[in-house]
Amino acid sequence: MQPDRNPLVLANARLVLADRVIESGWIAIVDGMIADFGAERAPAGAQDIAGDFIIPGLIELHTDHLEAHYMPRPKVYWDPVAAVVSYDGQLASCGITTALDSLRVWREEGVDEVGGEAAVLAAAIAKARDADMLRVAHFLHLRCEVPMPDVVAETAALITWPEVRLVSLMDHTPGQRQFRDQEKLRTYYRGKAGGLTDAELDALFDQRRDYAARHSADNYRDLVALARQHGLRLASHDDTTLEHVEQSVADQVAIAEFPTTLEAARASHAAGIAVLMGAPNLVRGSSHSGNVGTAELARAGVLDAMSSDYMPASLLMAAFHLPKAVPAIDLPGAIRTVTRTPAKAVGLDDRGEIAIGKRADLVRVRVTENIPVVRSVWRTGARVA
- Parse the chain into domains and list their residue ranges: 1-56+352-385, 58-350
Distance CA 259, CA 277 (A): 7
- pLDDT of 287 above 50: yes
In the predicted model, what is the mean pLDDT of residues 231-256?
96
In the predicted model, what is the mean pLDDT of residues 99-116?
74
CATH homologous superfamily for 1-56+352-385? Urease, subunit C, domain 1 (2.30.40.10)
Residue 1: per-residue pLDDT: 47
Share of the chain above pLDDT 70, in %: 89
CATH of the domain spanning 58-350, picked from 3.40.50.720, 3.40.1190.20, 3.20.10.10, 3.20.20.140: 3.20.20.140
CB atoms within 10 A of CB 351: 23
- pLDDT of 185 above 80: no
Residue 108: per-residue pLDDT: 61
Greater confidence, 158 or 213? 158
| Collapsed DSSP state (helix, strand, coil) of residue 236 | strand
CA distances from 381 to 4, 46, 235 (A): 6, 14, 31
Q: What is the pLDDT of residues 132-156, one digit of tens each?
A: 999 999 999 999 999 988 999 999 9
Residue 325: per-residue pLDDT: 96
